[in-house]
Structure 1
Amino acid sequence: MLIARRSPDGFRIIDSFSRIVRLGEGLNESGALSSAAMDRVIAALSVCADKMDRRSVKASRCVATQACRIASNGPELMTRIKAETGLDFDIITAEEEARLSVLGCLDLMDESFETALVVDIGGGSTELSWVDLAVWRERGGYASGGRPPVRTWASAPVGVVTLAERFPETAETADWYAAMRDFAAAQLKTPKGAKKLRKHFRDGRAHLVGTSGTITSVAGVHLELPRYERAKVDGLWMSADETLAACNRLSAQDFKGRSAEPVIGTERADLVLAGCAILEAVMAAWPAERLRVGDRGLREGLLMNLMRKPRRRRGGRRARSTAQRKAAE
Structure 2
Amino acid sequence: MERFATVDVGSNSVLLLVAERKEGGFRYLVDKAVVTRLGEGLYRNRKIKPEAMERTVGALKRFRGIIEGCRVKGMAAVGTMALREAENAEEFLERAKKEAGLTIEVIPAEEEARLSYLGAISGLPLFRKRVFVVDIGGGSTEFVLGEGSRILERSSLKVGALTLTETFLRSDPVQAEEFSDLSGYLKEAFDRAGLPAGGGDLVGLGGNIATMAAVKLLLTDFDPSRVHGASLELSDVKKQIDLYLSRTIEERKKIPGLDPMRADTILAGAAILHTVMERLRRDSVTVSTHGLRHGLLLERFG
TM range (shorter): 0.7 to 0.9
Alignment of 1:114-263 (within 5 A): 115-131=130-146, 133=147, 136=148, 147=149, 149-170=150-171, 171=173, 173-188=175-190, 189-190=193-194, 194-195=196-197, 197=198, 200=199, 206-263=200-257
Report which of the two has the higher share of strand: 2
SS at match of 1:105: helix
Aligned twin of 1:108: 124
* Equivalence for 1:61: 76
CA distance in 2, matches of 1:111, 1:11: 17
CA–CA distance in structure 2, aligned partners of residues 242 and 49 of structure 1? 38
Q: How far apart are residue 291 of structure 1 and its match?
A: 0.8
Structure 1 residue identity aligned to 2:126:
D
Please say which of residues 45-54 and 162-171 is displaced more in the overlay.
162-171
Q: What SS does structure 2 have at the residue aligned with 1:60? A: strand
Q: Distance in 2 between matches of 1:10 and 1:279?
A: 31
Residue 264 of structure 2 aligns with an amino acid whose one-letter code is D
Cα contact 1:207–1:290 (8 A) shared by 2 = no
Name the structure 2 match of 1:288.
282
Write the distance in 2 (CA, Å) between the matches of 1:129 and 1:55: 33
Q: CA deviation at 1:111?
A: 6.0
Structure with a larger share of its residues in helix: 1
Specify the SS of the correspondent of 1:280.
helix
CA displacement at 1:86 relative to structure 2: 1.2
Q: Which blocks of at least 5 consecutive residues in structure 1 are unaligned?
A: 137-146, 201-205, 309-329
Letter of the structure 1 residue corresponding to residue 131 of structure 2: A
Equivalences for residues 32-51 of structure 1 within 5 A = 32-51=47-66
Match of 1:17, SS state, is strand
Superposition deviation, residue 101 in structure 1: 0.7
User: Given that residues 203 and 286 in structure 2 are in contact (C-alpha distance below 8 angstroms), is that contact kept between their aligned partners in structure 1?
Assistant: yes
Q: Which residue of 1 aligns with 2:266?
A: 272
- Note closer, same or farther for the CA distance 1:179–1:207 as it changes in structure 2 (3 Å cut): farther
Q: TM-score, normalised by structure 1?
A: 0.81
1:66, distance to aligned residue in structure 2 (A): 0.0
**Secondary structure at 1:151's aligned position in 2?**
strand
Name the structure 2 match of 1:98.
113
Q: Is the 8 A contact 2:169 2:179 kept in 1?
A: no
Cα pair 2:220 2:256 within 8 Å, conserved:
yes
Quote the Cα distance in structure 2 between the aligned partners of 1:109 and 1:211: 15
1:316 corresponds to which residue?
Answer: none
1:274: how far off? 1.2
Contact 1:159/1:275 (<8 A) preserved: yes
In 1, the alpha carbon distance for the partners of 2:174 and 2:234 equals 26
Superposition CA RMSD, Å: 1.9
- TM-score normalised per structure 2: 0.87
* Match in the other structure for 1:305: 299
Question: How far 1:280 sits from its partner (Å)?
Answer: 1.4
Residue 253 of structure 1 deviates from its aligned partner by 2.3
CA contact (8 A) 1:126 1:155 kept: yes
How far off its partner does 1:28 sit? 1.4
CA contact (8 A) 1:207 1:289 kept: no
The verdict on how the C-alpha distance between 1:286 and 1:264 changes in structure 2, with shifts beyond 3 A counting, is same
Query: Highest CA radius of gyration, 1 or 2?
Result: 1
Distance 1:266 1:72 in 2: 30
Which runs of 5 or more residues in structure 2 are unaligned?
Answer: 1-15
How many percent identity over aligned positions? Answer: 33
- For structure 1, which segment, 62-71 or 219-228, has the greater mean C-alpha deviation from structure 2 after superposition? 219-228
Count of aligned positions: 283
Q: How far off its partner does 1:153 sit? A: 1.0
Helix, strand or coil for the counterpart of 2:282? Answer: coil
Secondary structure at the residue paired with 2:235?
Answer: helix
Q: Deviations over 1:253-297 (max 9, x none)?
A: 222321111322431111111111111121122121221101111
Name the counterpart of 1:7: 22
Q: Distance in 2 between matches of 1:247 and 1:61?
A: 36
Q: CA deviation at 1:112?
A: 7.8
CA drift of 1:229 comes to 1.9
For the residue of structure 2 that corresponds to 1:241, the secondary structure is: helix
